[in-house]
Amino acid sequence: MSDYLSVNIKDRIGYLELNRPEKRNALNAEMVEALKEALTDLGINPDVKIIVIKAAGKVFCSGADLEYLQSLQTNTFEENLADSRNLKTLFHLIYTSPKVIISQVQGHALAGGCGLASVCDFSFAVPEAKFGYTEVKIGFIPAIVKVFLLRKIGEGKARQLLLDADPISAEEAKNIGLINWVVNADQLDEIVYDYAQKLIKQNSGSAMALTKEMIARIQERTLEEGLEYAAAMNAKARGTSDCKKGIDAFLNKKPITW
């Protein structure tokens, strides 16, 4: 694994820790590739049910590495497109992963770093963390994150974040639905661990995976197409071993071990 990322598995949680604190965990090609590889591996690892993305140092992620972006300014359009598609693939992997992914935000999450945190299924952040898309201040654009942001918080709030470009507090980020919970720094590790364990013990892994798949796919369909897709997924879920196990346990009043 890359020097920029550490991977650890504990109690069915796969921890991915951004480990480039001297650069505020900025995203460059190596960091993005390492995250893609780790997420792909953990996504098919039967010993991992929940993935947590966290970071070393005082900043969660400051977004794209500006020195790296500067080095790309002599690239052709095709070369820049190929590089941009790496980040697109990373965010798509997180959004469509069969595993539930939690971001554990111990510091500022800005630009692409804000996208990285908010594209996860759940986000926990400390009160001191700031969230924002600052790209337009330097003549860049928040292109890829916009696709997911519009889905998550709607056009009105997205316009404010993307065009105003001023960071907001963790509490405000929670209030607009960008993140889920704000917790004190000294409790962050424990609370994220406990929440992950709740999901692990309480919920079927295959049912959560199918639910995530539907969230990602159903919004692109018309009402009629969406309902037909939902009916097909409902039928698919009924045939899974987890569904059979869960219904049997419920009817026979037996505890379920997931």
> Hey, which residues are catalytic here?
135
Task: Give CA torsion, residues 73, 75, 77, 79, to 10 deg.
Answer: -130
Dist CA 137 CA 170 (whole Å): 21
Q: Which residues contact 129 (CB under 8 A, 6 or more apart)?
A: 60, 105, 106, 107, 108, 109, 169, 170, 173
* Residues counted in the chain: 258
Dist CA 197 CA 247 (whole Å): 22
Q: Which residues contact 227 (CB under 8 A, 6 or more apart)?
A: none
Dist CA 38 CA 35 (whole Å): 5
Question: What φ, ψ does residue 4 adopt, rounded to 5°?
Answer: -85, -5
